[in-house]
Chains A and B, each alone.
Chain A
């Protein structure tokens, strides 16, 4: 029944922040329609895209995500009238900030997926997974998390000199 699964050296971890009214229902539809999409995506359900804080994206990367997907209702379809409009501005600004800091924006995907668009959900998730897979693991945040404040070099000439004096 199931198509043969390709073996990959690297399986990316994708965190999807989705709104409960549209994209979560869209992903549900994909499931109940028995559409296949990569199991790399971990779906986190939020009341609205307006509830998704830019800090969540940072946190996801710090906790080892290789890619992040933010998805909600199409403009005009928000259950709370304007939540996705606010989110759109917030993420437009946040993208610019991340770009300026030097984060690779191709690891972050924003999309509108309605409750009827199971197919689009599959397409968005597959595209992002394939793209992140070709980029490889997100090393920047992982390396940063392992670093300590000081340089870590304990054999500098200055320290050696002080040590010798003791």
Chain B
């Protein structure tokens, strides 16, 4: 049963970000704006960095603006000019990633100008970019999204949006897996991870994978086998999940870019849920100096320790 999602907000948001970007660039407040431009394929969009006020009129926001642009501000993307302030357009999921990066001292809040995007949802990775946004074609993360209006942005267009309503796909899948026996879960993940070709697109696109050298690339000592064989794949995905737990903002970019359709965000969502339960932590809009796994309380649960 698919329901249409009200997409009337997109044109209003597009108009608002165009004028805001033009104002910022013309006044010299920022040196660049990271946003979306139309791409060649009909209806599609691509991330772009614009530096002149003339280009601001080309900026768009549409259901095809799936990318989390926060990744362009991390250490891993040194090519983005660091001179002066930079404006970035961000959906609320992207804003959580920005908050996480600020919390981890990868960004200074004063160096960025956030243009918040009221977002009724974006298309899933399998949907055609020109497809109509319905509860079937919307990305799974959007069905879980509670914040369609970003909070704490420097500028947010005054547009009201109605969030997509539908049953959460992640919750259903996590419940399905949790009901299985460990052996069944193992064979499920074994099959999923066996598909992995180790292209590291998940790492490349993740705003939080900003390490100069990934532990999985080191070969002395080699913690993770680098060839795309099942043993190394399993280790890579487990280490990826544990390194992101307590940090992941839930933008689901890893899952979107995976060419082999491995349900990577399922692991992230499961860990987020566990950390919420154990330490009452949730990724939010407010930068936090310490995450749940680099802080502690003396009264933490230790029932599993003998």
Q: Contact check: which of A88, A90, A97 meets B241 at CB < 8 Å? A: A97
Chain A neighbourhood of B235, CB < 8 A? 55, 58-59, 62
Q: A88-B302, A97-B271 are in contact. Are A102 and B184 (CB under 8 A)?
A: yes
Q: Are A58 and B293 in contact (CB under 8 A)?
A: no
- Number of chain A residues whose Cβ lies closer than 8 Å to a Cβ of chain B: 40
- Of all chain B residues, which has the CB nearest A113? B306
Q: Are A93 and B245 in contact (CB under 8 A)?
A: yes
Q: Contact check: which of A90, A100, A112, A147 meets B293 at CB < 8 Å? A: A90
Instruction: Answer yes or no: A144 CB below 8 A from chain B CBs.
Output: yes
Distance of A40 Cα from B239 Cα, bound (Å): 27
Q: Are A93 and B305 in contact (CB under 8 A)?
A: no
Q: Give the contact stretch, choosing among B62-70, B146-154, B224-232.
A: B224-232
Q: Give the contact stretch, choosing among A12-20, A28-36, A103-111, A153-161.
A: A103-111
Distance of A88 Cα from B215 Cα, bound (Å): 22
Closest chain A CB from B191 CB (angstroms): 11
Closest chain A CB from B268 CB (angstroms): 10
Could you mark each residue 106-123 of chain A with 1 if its beta carbon is under 8 Å from any beta carbon of chain B, else 0?
A: 000111100000000000
- Of all chain A residues, which has the CB nearest B303? A92
- Number of chain B residues whose Cβ lies closer than 8 Å to a Cβ of chain A: 48
Instruction: Answer yes or no: A46 CB below 8 A from chain B CBs.
Output: no
Instruction: Answer yes or no: B131 CB below 8 A from chain A CBs.
Output: no
Q: Are A92 and B267 in contact (CB under 8 A)?
A: no
Q: A92-B301, A110-B305 are in contact. Are A103 and B186 (CB under 8 A)?
A: yes
Q: Are B306 and A110 in contact (CB under 8 A)?
A: yes
- Of all chain B residues, which has the CB nearest A53? B223
Q: A92-B300, A101-B186, A102-B182 are in contact. Are A149 and B224 (CB under 8 A)?
A: no
Q: Contact check: which of A76, A93, A144 meets B246 at CB < 8 Å? A: A93
Interface on chain A toward B: helix, strand, loop, or mixed SS? helix
Q: Are A55 and B302 in contact (CB under 8 A)?
A: no
Q: Are B246 and A149 in contact (CB under 8 A)?
A: no
Greatest chain A CB density within 10 A among B234, B293, B306 is at: B306
Q: Are A97 and B267 in contact (CB under 8 A)?
A: yes
Chain B neighbourhood of A109, CB < 8 A? 306
- Of all chain A residues, which has the CB nearest B181? A102
Distance of A8 Cα from B169 Cα, bound (Å): 48
Residues of B25-39 contacting chain A, CB below 8 A: none
Instruction: Answer yes or no: A37 CB below 8 A from chain B CBs.
Output: no
Q: Are B182 and A97 in contact (CB under 8 A)?
A: no
Q: Contact check: which of A62, A76, A99, A112 meets B182 at CB < 8 Å? A: A99
Instruction: List the interface of chain B (C-beta within 8 A of A).
Output: 177-178, 180, 182-190, 194, 215, 223-224, 228-231, 234-235, 238-239, 241-242, 245-246, 267, 270-271, 274-275, 278-279, 292-298, 300-302, 304-306
Instruction: List the interface of chain A (C-beta within 8 A of B).
Output: 53-55, 58-59, 62, 75-76, 82, 85-86, 88-104, 109-112, 124, 140-141, 144-145, 147-149
A-B pairs with lowest CB-CB distance, top 3: A102-B186, A102-B185, A85-B296
